[in-house]
Amino acid sequence: RSKDLSKTLIQTNLKPTETIYFRRNKTLLVGYKQKKTRKPVYMLSTAFTADDVLIRSKKSGIEAIKPKLIGEYNLNMGGVDTKDKSIYHLTCTRTTKKYWRKIFDNFTDMALLNAYILYARNTDNPLSRHSFTVNIIESLVEENHHQQVQNHPPQQIHPGPAGDGEHNLVRLPGVKLRVCVVCSTSQKQTRSRYWCPGCLCGVHPGCYNQLQHFMRPVGGGRRKRAAPPPESDSD
């Protein structure tokens, strides 16, 4: 636990390639900073002593002194920690207080990465990991959209006296999103890939039947009903 560690070691501002050791009985604590741009690394061990070794970089050939404990760790990990880190290069994890959601998001990230690895190994010209993930997301959204349309078929409403254009459910091009005027509130806004061209507003497929047509969004988040055209005088 942190309260059992030396405050001097934890609070020490390590410089690049600098190492600091702290031992209590059989437990050795090592602090090491490899580069200026990286955070210090702290490791605990009961199997090593406070020894340094000379390490030569395979890429640059530059020699540097590094704790023997960290050198042995890198040698025996076999890149497992690097592979674990690659999961979070493209992640769906979001800041949340719900721990179960963090676990679920982590499982999702691992499943997506494993799927991409299998896909890349069995494809001559594979997509980038980002494009692969986007395609999966779009396919899941499209499948969910079909289910919503089947459960809540959109009602075709033709233009009324205001003549604002066609009122139907239209998918926005590309990855554009619009705020749904039905289920959004001042505290929380939800966005949809669909909109009503006649109303010039976003709407979810499941909210379409509740949309009050000819309601146009105006500044400040308020909505205003478009006025019908004046009646012409008959001769």
What span, in angstroms and rounded, lies between the C-alpha atoms of 203 and 132? 27
Query: Which residues, at least 6 apart from 181, have a Cβ–Cβ distance to it below 8 Å?
Result: 199, 201, 202, 203, 211, 215, 217, 223
CA torsion 219-222-226-227 (nearest 10°) is -100
pLDDT, residue 143, reads: 65
Note the pLDDT tens digit of each residue in 48-68.
889 988 888 777 888 888 898
Query: What is the pLDDT, as a whole number, of residue 177?
Result: 86
What pLDDT score was predicted for residue 163? 39
Residue range 72-114, pLDDT digits in tens:
887 787 666 677 778 878 888 888 888 888 899 889 999 999 9
Amino acid at 194: Y
pLDDT given at position 229: 45
Categorise residue 60: left if φ over 0, alpha if ψ from -120 to 50, beta otherwise.
alpha
For the chain, residues with pLDDT lower than 50 are 1, 156-164, 215-235
pLDDT of residue 56: 80
Cα end-to-end span (Å), the chain: 93
Q: Which of 192, 88, 195 is nearest to 141 (CA)?
A: 192
H helices of 79-121, in order, are 80-86, 99-121
Q: What is the largest CA-CA distance in the chain?
A: 107
Structure pTM?
A: 0.41
Question: In the numeric block, which tokens belong to residue 46?
Answer: 């009961």
Distance CA 52, CA 64 (A): 10
Q: Which of 152, 155, 156 is nearest to 144 (CA)?
A: 152
pLDDT of residue 115: 92
Dist CA 33 CA 151 (whole Å) = 58
- Output the pLDDT for position 13: 86
